[in-house]
Structure 1
Amino acid sequence: MNFKSNPIFKANKLVLLLLLALFNFSCRNKKSNNQFAYSESAKIDLPQNHQIHGIDLSHFNGKINFDKIKDIDLFDTTSIKFIYIKATEGKTLKDKYFEGNWKEAHEKGFKCGAYHFFIPNRDPEEQAELFCNIVKLSSGDLPPVCDFESPISISKEKLKAKIQIFLDKLQDNYGVKPIIYTNKKLYHKIFKEEFSDYNFWIAHYDTEDVDQTIENLVFWQHNKDGKLPGHAGKFDYNVFLGDEEDFNSLLIK
């Protein structure tokens, strides 16, 4: 007797084929199950389960047309709501586009925040002084950000002490705790324990969800290869990991 003609074999084969089909369907639709969708405006997949989207800017992005940013729809009726703008770096460098970006972004109605690129081997008090002299925050602005993504050129203990000095100076000046921007690897290496009472903004790419073990996570930079209509180059895309009420509570009073 040919075993392939056996009814039991045929039934098992049918079950196997159905399981394989379901597996392939699941793989093909993995991102849609996590509510990702391609945005024609941004030219990347965007997480639809987070409704408050934003970008960050520096002189690397060149001159920005904020009217074009204001008018784009990322998907459905969702647009860019917040913009973080580089203000300073180290103890002497001021981003050449900061003042213009800061003024125009506010005029177009975006929620704005400013960030400082922290350099480990520079004096933290002088770095804080530079930022505070340049950036004037008002009610409705986002908290200041310490951007740390540099190679670690000093001991971790000295680095943590310097970052703490910088954060304390900003908090004393603005009356609000700064947010720490870093990547997933540096978070676990530097910030996880001693800085657990700060909010975090994490760069974590090529993943369908940000690292859920990170505490006090408020922003996720999910893609660094996004586009903006009418602009060359690539842009960082971010989402706020909360609802409208959470976002408003984060703003400076």
Structure 2
Amino acid sequence: MRRPIAVASGHTRLLTAGVLLASQSLLLTLSAVPATAGDSTTPVRGSAYMGRGVLAHEGVQGRPVETRASQTEGVDVSSHQGNVAWSTLWKSGVKWAYVKATEGTSYRNPYFAQQYGGSYDTGMIRGAYHFATPDTSGGAAQADYFVSHGGAWSKDGKTLPGVLDIEYNPYGATCYGKTKTQMVTWIRNFLDRYQARTGREAAVYTSTNWWTQCTGNYSGFGASNPLWVARYASSVGTLPAGWGFHTMWQYTSTGKTVGDHNKFNGSLDRVKALAKG
């Protein structure tokens, strides 16, 4: 015998319809909420700092081990640190610093004057760096923008050569949508223009993993451009091809606190020698 099909009462039908409408409304509301500007996967252009991509992709693994080789402590800072207490850092043993000046061809660090001038006034040897965005404009154009807005070099004994910060893209595709050959060409264009504008060879900041992935571990810059390698571990590890040694080592990235910490591969006299050219 077939059982009769239950027919919902008017009240039940209204309740069910109400639940369905409420659920649909909630889904529509959630889908309409935009991603915030602070979303870690899509940061605001200009907000990148030295090591942001390395930190996200390679992580923090440890502190550097003690070594008998002479090393000199330094920091790098950006707008994330705001006005820096340089005298405090100086007293803690920091003797050199790099300050983010520019990014792409439109961003300038609003704290650059305080950070760049303040480190100098405290007695530090300091320089400027440019965060590269090869997907937005050419290498030569970005070198021009950098030199014109804080990245120039002067032979005063306290100004380090500029740095090209080329690392994981915090805004999109890891290699900025470029082939390995295209990336090498972009980097060469930046470095050549910087040298032509300033008379100095810029240093290259990168990580071995990114360099291998995005340039094919190209070895053509090691003879002329100092290497600043990023690796958050107890040792500097394997270097990118072409460099037999590193000049600077970023061993920890702290982002929005007191800046990232680094070791210069040599005594303070060697830091001064790099500044003098």
Identity of aligned residues (%): 27
Alignment-derived partner of residue 242 in structure 1: 266
User: Which structure's residues are more often strand, by fraction?
Assistant: 1
**Structure with more contact order per residue of length (Cα contacts < 8 Å, sep ≥ 6):** 2
Q: Find the residue that maps to 1:251 and give its secondary structure.
A: helix
Separation in 2, partners of 1:221, 1:213 = 13
Deviation (angstroms), 1:235: 2.5
Off by >4 Å, runs of 4+ in structure 1: 44-48
AA of the residue aligned to 1:64: V
2:250/2:263 contact within 8 Å kept: yes
Q: Find the residue that maps to 2:127 and give its secondary structure.
A: strand
Alignment-derived partner of residue 209 in structure 1: 235
Separation in 1, partners of 2:222, 2:75 = 25
In the alignment, structure 1 residue 145 sits paired with structure 2 residue 159? no
Q: Find the residue that maps to 2:186 and give its secondary structure.
A: helix
In the alignment, structure 1 residue 124 sits paired with structure 2 residue 139? yes
Q: Which has the larger radius of gyration?
A: 2
| Residue deviations 1:131-165 (CA, integer Å, cap 9, x gap) | 11112422221111000112211111111111111
Q: Which runs of 5+ in 2 are unaligned?
A: 1-61
Q: TM-score, normalised by structure 1?
A: 0.72
Separation in 1, partners of 2:96, 2:248 = 11
Alignment-derived partner of residue 91 in structure 1: 105
Name the count of aligned residue pairs: 198
Of residues 172, 177, 185, the one that matches 2:196 is 172
AA of the residue aligned to 2:141: E
Alignment-derived partner of residue 250 in structure 2: 221
Separation in 2, partners of 1:56, 1:245 = 19
Alignment of 1:1-253 (within 5 A): 45=63, 47-49=65-67, 50-72=70-92, 79-121=93-135, 122-135=137-150, 136-139=152-155, 140=157, 141-149=159-167, 150=169, 151-152=174-175, 153-189=177-213, 190=215, 191-197=217-223, 198-205=225-232, 207-214=233-240, 215=243, 216-225=245-254, 233=257, 235-253=259-277
Separation in 1, partners of 2:104, 2:188 = 15
Q: TM-score, normalised by structure 2?
A: 0.66
